[in-house]
Structure 1
């Protein structure tokens, strides 16, 4: 088995102390993403939760694309939301991204993420 770091240039390249994703490749490929937040390649987070949700999913899609995978390869997600009032918005964005794909999922409310402006964080595991 080989293991490769996945740090798409579209996300700003390699973070200082972790990888955005790890690809474990053997008889099958498995990608584990780091928690993706709603920031773009310049490190900017919108104040709008829907925009942050879309950006977090776009970051996951970029990691999967670099691994030769897509959304339908996701088998498990873990979502962290700061504000329970953002749940309906998150669900609508998720439906638009997953388009009927239904991976196993865990969603938890947290009192905060690393920066106060961050509203959502999403982790994913994908297999091909």
Structure 2
């Protein structure tokens, strides 16, 4: 299987020179995904809405590449405020509670734009069984 690039259609992907996801064999590498709705290029003000949007974008990218959420083996969560951790982790649990990938949560000084409160990246491996 050849390398395949997945895009959300966001103009930022082309301008910044990256893909939402790269499919390489049985692996999918999904780039750090913030809470934007890429159809409207808007983001909710609250971290819960942003986290939900992250997972919607991630799921769509995985599906486009022939993967399912159940294929996720690794997740990294970046938040800009420790006070947002409980809200973010609750949405992570809703989406990944049965999958239980290896995961890391990092509190960072900031993301690219001040309205961004959360960014999530995942790696998936196609299941063979």
Q: How far 1:113 sits from its partner (Å)?
A: 0.1
Normalised by the length of structure 1, the TM-score is 0.90
Matches within 5 A, 1:33-112: 33-41=30-38, 42-112=40-110
The runs of 5 or more residues in structure 2 that have no matched partner are none
- The 8 Å contact of residues 38 and 121 in structure 1, kept in 2 or not, is answered as yes
For 1:4 and 1:13, the matched residues in 2 are separated by 19
- The 8 Å contact of residues 35 and 122 in structure 1, kept in 2 or not, is answered as yes
- The 8 Å contact of residues 7 and 13 in structure 1, kept in 2 or not, is answered as no
- Aligned counterpart in structure 1 of residue 112 of structure 2, from 114, 119, 124: 114
For 1:13 and 1:101, the matched residues in 2 are separated by 32
Aligned length: 123
Are residues 120 and 14 of structure 1, via their aligned partners in 2, closer, same or farther at CA, if it must alter by over 3 Å? closer
Secondary structure in structure 1 of the residue aligned to 2:76? strand
The runs of 5 or more residues in structure 1 that have no matched partner are none
